[in-house]
Amino acid sequence: MKKTNIKKNKNIQTAVIKNKTNMNKYSLGFGLSLVVTNLLNAVILVVKEVSSSVMNVMKAALGHHWTTHAVMLLFIFVVLGAVFSIYEVGAKWDSRKLMYYISGSVIISIVIITVYFLPYLIVK
């Protein structure tokens, strides 16, 4: 009887460990922030290239549109990372899901940026 109980407890413990998320709240929070910031990078690029008023505002803000773009992204990454970590957004996520989202966001942003500038490669 005792042996059966010990075995049952061990099985329960193993199940709990297997189901438990492997991720620390900072690792997850800043990982999610990375996903959002990567996508925002492509969005900001397209918006500033399409809208000359946005481009002018970004140039005026820190002297160069690229500098403003960089500071905006770093600021958003840090703030969102802190917020997501504190509020433990996506607490049930595991490393695998985060890996897919990070890889996806990087691929999507690279494709948007490349496709946006592709006509300049073809047309002189």
Partner 1 sequence: MLNQGFMMSHVLFGVLGILCAVALFMDVLNASGKNYQRIKMLSLAVAVLIVISFLIGGYWYVTYYGAERDIIKAGAWPWAHNFFMEVKEHIFFAMLLLGIYLPIAVYKNIPLTNRKNKNLVLAICAMIILIGIFMEGAGGIISKGVTIGLRG
Residue 67 makes contact with partner 1 by CB under 8 A: yes
Least CB distance from residue 94 to partner 1, whole Å?
Answer: 6
Q: How many Å apart are CA 123 and CA 39, to the nearest integer?
A: 27
| Residue that the structure tokens 């910031």 belong to | 37
Q: Rule CB under 8 A: say whether 26 interacts with partner 1.
A: yes
What is the DSSP secondary-structure string of 108-120?
HHHHHHHHHHHHH
Map residues 2-21 to x or -, x wherever contact with partner 1 holds by CB under 8 A.
--------------------
Q: Kindly state whether residue 30 participates in binding partner 1, applying the rule CB under 8 A.
A: yes
- Rg of the chain over all Cα atoms, to the nearest angstrom: 22
Specify the stretch interacting with partner 1 by CB under 8 A; choose among 7-15, 50-58, 96-104.
Answer: 96-104
Tokens standing for 60? Answer: 């005026």
